[in-house]
Structure 1
Amino acid sequence: MAAYIDMSRIPYIPGRLHATNNPYQRYGPKGFMEIKVLNNDNLYVRVDLPGVPDDAIRYRVDAVRQKVVFFSGEETHRDGYKAEEVREYSGTAGLGCDCCEITGVDAKMKDGVLRMILARVKVKDHDKKCTHFLPLNTGKSGRYDVNSFNWVEVESHPFVVKGRKDTLASQRTSDGCFHFSVDMPGVCGDDMFVLPNENEIKFYGENKEVHEHDESCRIFLGAVSNRQCCSYGIPLLNHNISWDAEFGVLKVRVSPPPRNNNE
């Protein structure tokens, strides 16, 4: 079955960035983390941990039952990428009050996103509804608009304790190949696409399976210029362009054509 991309689903958004945490996110919930109160008063926590395998996340409730500590092993390491780019994560999320306790955690890691349902109970002030949680103002990353003077730097990932903190990483290896990887948390490998032309390598991703507590899907779109990834004097489309994707990370390899022995 042929794959296709419905580009009409990408809304027009003025300015360069839709989310300061990911310069390639064009649509959907923003921020490295999102926390919201559900109808049953439990907390929903979504944390972006791109590159982490589905079975590599660990978590625990701390001694005073006020927060959940989550951490990961190393993300999957692929050939052609520097060891220092392999990331590890650690962070916390939970209550910002002293009237509730966390009684249970239902956690699932998929496509580089950790989603948790934190069950909680009121232990005092039972007549008052509690809406406090930590960290505050999560999921509120904005964008900067080239038509305004509000220029915002792209944020580094706050939960990375080892490895790169940027959304995109690139390098050129000694054999003349160019590698780059892009974080698209929540997007499975089958829904990431690479679209090269003579001027650039475009990439696209969309998480089509939206979680029940997410407000919408997320769409990512960006490009790497041929000036960055071409070998000197060789057109981009003459290169061998290959890619793979797993755990919310797209990895692309651009290799120059083999040398002609007659030259």
Structure 2
Amino acid sequence: MASILDMSRIPFIPGVLHATNNPYQRYGPKGFMETKVLPNDSLYVRVDLPGVPDDAIRYRVDAVRQKLVFFSGEETLRDGIKVEHVREYSGSAGLGCDCCEITGVDAKMKDGVLRMIVSRVKVKDHDNKCTHFVPPNAGKSGRYDYRLASDGRHIYDVNSFNMVEVEDHPLVVKGRKDVLLRQRTSDGCFHVSVDMPGVCSDDMFILPNENEIKFYGENKEVHEHDESCRIFMGAIPKGTCCSRGIPLLNHDIAWDAEFGVLKVRVSPPPRNNNE
């Protein structure tokens, strides 16, 4: 059964990025990491770790000062991905004060996103409400693509995408830091990986045509503490994933998704022995 996508509510602004941590994100909370105080005074921490399996995350609380939660994880090696591109993540989040201590961590990893509820308790200055936590945000995530007119006004330029400063993932300690990975293997196949943290495989789609391979993803199951869903969309031009002289739609285009990463494989047609 064909899937029908409601594209009417997806904002489209030519030449403008919604979030510089992911150039394909068109809607939703920005940044590689988000931290906020919950009504019960616990901390909610969201961390994007695309490619990390749900059971491959490690975390521990600083045993000396009870201030920080350290976390790490490794991406799985997949077909078409070179070992040097496999990512390892490491980072920390927690308290930025001297009046509280961490008492517990409830951590869950799903679809390339680590979500933690960090419980804390006041150990001094009990009468003062504490709102200090670290880091406040990982990533600038909001810089737009614009140029200045002669009179100083901002004019959005649909042809100046290269002027945008797209951010590298600050928590990657080994491997690639880019959202998009494009490789060609010895068998002539093109492999493309696109990070869509938080989106499950059932909510990712590819829509190929003669000029490009469009992709779309949306995390429809929004976590209770997330601001909203996130929507990703973009396209892979045929010139970067297509054998020379062969129409794109003559290729075998296959895809799957796992742990918040869309993986597309474009294989050229079999060679004709008579040629």
| SS of structure 1 residue aligned to 2:8 | helix
Q: Within 1, Cα distance between the matches of 2:172 and 2:111?
A: 17
Listed as ranges, the matches of 1:230-245 within 5 Å are: 230-245=242-257
> Offset at 1:152?
4.3
Q: Within 2, Cα distance between the matches of 1:213 and 1:49?
A: 18
Aligned to 2:66: 65
Of 166, 178, 200, the residue aligned with 1:154 is 166
| SS of structure 2 residue aligned to 1:8 | coil
Aligned to 1:88: 88
Amino acid at match of 1:22: N
| SS of structure 1 residue aligned to 2:143 | coil
> Offset at 1:5?
1.3
Aligned to 1:188: 200
| SS of structure 2 residue aligned to 1:84 | helix
Q: Within 1, Cα distance between the matches of 2:88 and 2:4?
A: 34
| SS of structure 1 residue aligned to 2:36 | strand
Percent identity, aligned pairs only, is 81
> Offset at 1:130?
0.6
Aligned to 1:136: 136
Q: Within 1, Cα distance between the matches of 2:132 and 2:256?
A: 41
Q: Within 1, Cα distance between the matches of 2:98 and 2:13?
A: 41
Aligned to 2:54: 54
Amino acid at match of 1:212: E
Listed as ranges, the matches of 1:197-208 within 5 Å are: 197-208=209-220
- Verify: 1:31 aligned to 2:31, yes or no: yes
Is the contact made by 2:68 and 2:93 (CA closer than 8 Å) also made in structure 1? Answer: yes
Q: Within 1, Cα distance between the matches of 2:190 and 2:181?
A: 11
- Verify: 1:225 aligned to 2:225, yes or no: no
Which stretch of structure 1 is more off in the superposition, 7-16 or 188-197?
7-16
| SS of structure 1 residue aligned to 2:269 | coil
| SS of structure 2 residue aligned to 1:262 | coil
> Offset at 1:228?
0.8
Which stretch of structure 1 is more off in the superposition, 149-158 or 116-125?
149-158
- RMSD over equivalenced CA pairs, Å: 1.5
Q: Within 1, Cα distance between the matches of 2:139 and 2:132?
A: 15
Aligned to 1:97: 97
Is the contact made by 1:53 and 1:75 (CA closer than 8 Å) also made in structure 2? Answer: yes
Which stretch of structure 1 is more off in the superposition, 150-159 or 21-30?
150-159
Question: TM-score scaled by structure 2?
Answer: 0.91
Amino acid at match of 1:80: G
Which stretch of structure 1 is more off in the superposition, 183-192 or 129-138?
129-138
> Offset at 1:242?
0.5
Q: Which runs of 5+ in 2 are unaligned?
A: 148-153, 157-162
Aligned to 2:45: 45
Q: Within 1, Cα distance between the matches of 2:81 and 2:241?
A: 15
Q: Within 2, Cα distance between the matches of 1:190 and 1:9?
A: 20
Q: Within 1, Cα distance between the matches of 2:121 and 2:202?
A: 40
Amino acid at match of 1:8: S
Q: Within 2, Cα distance between the matches of 1:102 and 1:89?
A: 22
Aligned to 2:188: 176
Count of residues in Structure 1 that have an aligned counterpart in Structure 2: 262
Question: TM-score scaled by structure 1?
Answer: 0.96
Deviation track 1:23-75 (CA, whole Å, cap 9, x = no partner) reads 00000000000000011111000000000000000100002100100011x31
> Offset at 1:141?
1.5
Is the contact made by 2:196 and 2:217 (CA closer than 8 Å) also made in structure 1? Answer: yes
Aligned to 1:216: 228
Which stretch of structure 1 is more off in the superposition, 5-14 or 91-100?
5-14
